[in-house]
């Protein structure tokens, strides 16, 4: 029997082709009522056992989070006014339930009874970790606050949820709202043929002559990298740099939201007795405290900055002597860097891009997965939210299903920028012994193919795809049966990038790289000579790239640990950070914080350092494969067993120690980045 409301159907795969905005409210009416009833029952159950207390509570809340996850996902990939209205209308209900759950003293006491009872001693390691995390999260969720403080805590959480959603929506709307119509083809000189064609099609779609340029990444990045028209690069750069700020539509200005978000986060942390929001955030991470994070970032900056200074100096000299640019500006950086790379290594992204055709890249990615883990990726069928979306299944050597994933590769209006992985359904061993297999989303924003030709990807885009697949494999290859610590659930936030960054390394190995290439015109694989030039250029400007990431990480951590709202401006703090570590200084009108969705609309608040922190782990983990070049499958099996398969059931430090046999070392990261000397 088909359930009328697709958001209430958990019998199989989500019915994405049927979900409509009008389904959201009625589905949540049912699911919230069920979850609240399960909470009420769990408060009274006696004796408290895993099967009588945790399992029924998980049953009800999982259905709620899965349905809301589908709504949130659609809001990110096929945003529409009606869907946004339904999302914003119901977000406070979800937030209130989550906050109340985290503050429920009766449940807190039940978890404590379970942890201290004789039954608690019989629980397995994953279940013990669930209990430990739950007790910690109740304290961090305000369960021990006085009633009036709990009410304020809940109000803060609700307002923060709304502000974060609005922040993300403003960036999306500001991106989609801007376009530039070009009527002179000479202004497009230097742009790849596929980009020019896409711009022509975008104009034709609106019944207009000429070429339509946008701030979507498949258009914006090529303009910045290859457009010979310097004024055109500046126009798009400025439009992008000022999105969602006071320079545009006042309704889309994220400035007031930033100030309010920071004030609320500081108040929330103070309610729980933390000195700052950064202290609150780090309480669930590998790092011990904000001081350790700041020390880590500044130590790495001291190592990287001399290389970054050299990179900048060389680029300025090249631009002056060969491009006639005496005042190297932000909109010249990518363009000049590509020209210098071509001059130095006879290598440019545009030349390489022609070899990375989508079918070969996907086949190469799936081949790496098979070689590492003995698993096959096979095409599968599922209802999808857009015709571009593909669906795959992951099976083991016996043909048993391990998990499934959606792949949404292309940029389009109404789709949030960037690339990400998210879980749709987590692995779980059900009460009857059946295994609920994981289901994930992999989302990118690449340019699509046209006129019967496949899409081609830059090497950076190939690396992005491998990165997101690494996150996906962390979720898909878990062997844990408890929802709260399966896959990435329960993994310390500063370790979640380990599997994703680890996968990027295989985009540089000749055996794998050659196998994923076929020239879009000739079908020829990547020539070895071109690969050697790519390899020589691998660490081109790695100093500048490193300090750029450190700039973001330091800004984020200082913003949430030392920034005093009302006494100092966010932009002034960012400038001080740039004065400390940066070598590239954007114009004064650049409004980067207004688009910094990672920390204002994502999960990286006081956690952006995680990218570099985890890169130490991922580089050192990959070094284990370098040290055993003939044992790819054997080392891959150990990596799956000790890191991917464990999920959050064991600390990330213990996972790494078990895989590597020692604590992590920064040496591999410095070596891979060309900064070991």
Catalytically annotated residues: 468
DSSP string across 166-185: HHHHHHHHHHHH-EEEE--G
Question: Can you name the residues that pair with 441 across neighbouring β-strands?
Answer: 406, 422
Q: Where are the beta strands (DSSP E) in 186-276?
A: 211-214
Distance CA 677, CA 675 (A): 6
**Nearest in space to 75 (alpha carbons), one of 85, 63, 61:** 85
- Buried-state track 555-585, b at ≥16 Cβ within 10 A, e below 16: bbbbbbbebebeeeebeebbbebbeebbbbe
Are 57 and 24 in contact by the 8 Å Cβ rule? The answer is no
For the chain, the farthest-separated pair of C-alpha atoms sits apart, in whole angstroms, at 80
What 3-state class would DSSP assign to 237? helix
* DSSP code for 542: H
Q: How far is residue 74's CA from residue 586's CA, in Å, rounded to a whole number?
A: 34
Sort strands 428-429 and 211-214 into parallel, antiparallel or unpaired. unpaired
Distance in Å from the first CA to the final CA of the chain: 66
615 neighbors 276 (Cβ within 8 angstroms): no
User: How many Cβ atoms from other residues are within 10 Å of residue 44's Cβ?
Assistant: 8
User: Of 17, 663, 588, 599, which Cα lies nearest the Cα of 286?
Assistant: 663
Dihedral, 551, 554, 558, 560 alpha carbons, nearest 10: 100
Are 233 and 332 within 8 A, CB to CB? yes
CA quadruple 121, 127, 131, 133: dihedral sign: positive
CA dihedral 252, 255, 261, 267 (to 10 degrees): -150
The radius of gyration of the chain from alpha carbons, rounded to an integer in Å, stands at 25
| C-alpha distances in Å from residue 626, one per residue of 170, 506, 648, 676 | 44, 11, 26, 17
Quickly list DSSP for 506-536: GGG-HHHHHHT---TTT-PPPPHHHHHHHHH
Q: How many CB atoms lie within 10 A of CB 366?
A: 18
CB 272 within 8 A of CB 259: no
Relative to beta strand 401-410, strand 439-446 is: parallel
The H or E element spanning position 301 is helix 290-322
- DSSP 3-state assignment of 428? strand
Q: Determine contact, residues 557/598, Cβ cutoff 8 Å.
A: no
Backbone angles phi, psi at 642, to 5 degrees: -95, -20
Helix (H), strand (E) at residue 459 = helix 459-476
Angle, helices 528-536 vs 333-345, to 10°: value is 120
212 strand-pairing partners = 181
Judge contact between 194 and 447, C-beta under 8 A. Answer: yes
Q: Cα separation of 526 and 368, whole Å?
A: 17
Handedness of CA 601, 603, 609, 613 (dihedral sign): negative
């Amino acid at each position: 029997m088909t359930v009328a409301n697709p958001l209430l159907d958990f019998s199989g795969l989500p019915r994405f082709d049927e979900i409509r905005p009008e389904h959201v409210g009625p589905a949540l009416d049912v699911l919230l009522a069920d979850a609240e009833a399960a909470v009420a029952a769990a408060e009274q159950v006696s004796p408290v056992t895993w099967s009588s207390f945790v399992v029924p509570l998980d049953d009800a809340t999982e259905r709620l989070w899965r349905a809301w996850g589908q709504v949130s996902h659609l809001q990110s990939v096929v945003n529409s006014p009606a869907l946004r209205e339904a999302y914003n209308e119901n977000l406070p209900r979800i937030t209130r339930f989550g906050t109340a759950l985290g503050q429920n003293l009766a449940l807190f006491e039940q978890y404590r009874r379970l942890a201290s009872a004789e039954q608690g001693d019989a629980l397995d390691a994953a279940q013990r970790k669930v209990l430990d995390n739950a007790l910690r999260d109740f304290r961090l969720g305000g369960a021990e606050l006085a009633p009036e403080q709990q009410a304020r805590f809940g109000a803060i959480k609700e307002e923060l949820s709304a502000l974060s959603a609005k922040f993300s929506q403003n960036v999306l709307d500001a991106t989609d709202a801007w376009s530039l119509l070009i009527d002179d083809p000479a202004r497009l000189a230097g742009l790849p043929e596929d980009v020019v064609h896409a711009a022509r099609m975008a104009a034709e779609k609106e019944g207009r002559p000429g070429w339509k340029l946008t701030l979507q990444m498949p258009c914006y990045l090529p303009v910045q990298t290859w457009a010979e028209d310097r004024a055109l690069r500046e126009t798009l750069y400025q439009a992008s740099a000022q999105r969602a700020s006071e320079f545009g539509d006042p309704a889309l200005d994220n400035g007031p939201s930033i100030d309010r978000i920071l004030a609320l986060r500081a108040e929330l942390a103070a309610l729980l007795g933390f000195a700052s929001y950064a202290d609150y955030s780090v309480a669930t991470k590998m790092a011990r405290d904000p001081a350790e994070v700041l020390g880590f970032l500044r130590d790495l900056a001291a190592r990287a900055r001399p290389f970054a200074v050299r990179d900048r100096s060389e680029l300025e000299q090249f631009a002056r002597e060969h491009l006639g640019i005496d005042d190297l500006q932000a909109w010249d950086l990518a363009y000049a860097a590509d020209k210098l790379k071509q001059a130095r290594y006879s290598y440019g992204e545009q030349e390489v891009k022609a070899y990375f055709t989508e079918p070969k890249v996907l086949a190469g990615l799936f081949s790496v997965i098979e070689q590492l883990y003995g698993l096959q990726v096979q095409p599968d069928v599922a209802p999808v939210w857009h015709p571009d979306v593909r669906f795959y299944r992951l099976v083991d050597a016996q043909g048993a299903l391990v998990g499934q994933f959606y792949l949404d590769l292309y940029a389009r209006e109404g789709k949030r920028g960037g690339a990400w992985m998210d879980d749709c359904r987590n692995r779980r061993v059900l009460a009857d012994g059946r295994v609920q297999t994981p289901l994930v989303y992999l989302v990118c924003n690449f340019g699509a193919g046209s006129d019967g030709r496949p899409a081609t990807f830059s090497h950076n885009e190939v690396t992005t795809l491998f990165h997101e697949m690494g996150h996906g494999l962390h979720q898909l290859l878990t062997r844990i049966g408890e929802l709260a610590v399966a896959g990435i659930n329960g993994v310390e936030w500063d370790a979640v990038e380990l599997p994703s960054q680890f996968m990027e390394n295989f985009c540089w190995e000749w055996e794998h790289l050659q196998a994923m290439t076929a020239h879009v015109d000739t079908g020829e694989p990547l020539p070895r000579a071109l690969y050697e030039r790519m390899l020589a250029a691998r660490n081109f400007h790695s100093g500048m790239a490193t300090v750029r990431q450190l700039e973001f990480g330091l800004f984020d951590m200082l913003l949430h640990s030392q920034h005093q709202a009302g006494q100092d401006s966010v932009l002034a703090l960012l400038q001080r950070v740039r004065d400390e570590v940066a070598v590239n200084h954007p114009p004064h009108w650049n409004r980067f914080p207004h688009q910094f969705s990672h920390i204002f609309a994502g999960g990286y608040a006081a956690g952006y350092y995680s990218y570099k922190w985890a890169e130490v782990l991922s580089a050192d983990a990959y070094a284990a494969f370098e040290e055993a070049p003939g044992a790819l499958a054997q080392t891959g099996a150990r990596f799956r067993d000790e890191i991917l398969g464990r999920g959050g059931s064991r600390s990330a430090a213990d996972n790494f120690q078990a895989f590597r046999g020692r604590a992590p070392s920064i040496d591999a990261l410095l070596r891979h980045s060309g900064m070991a000397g």
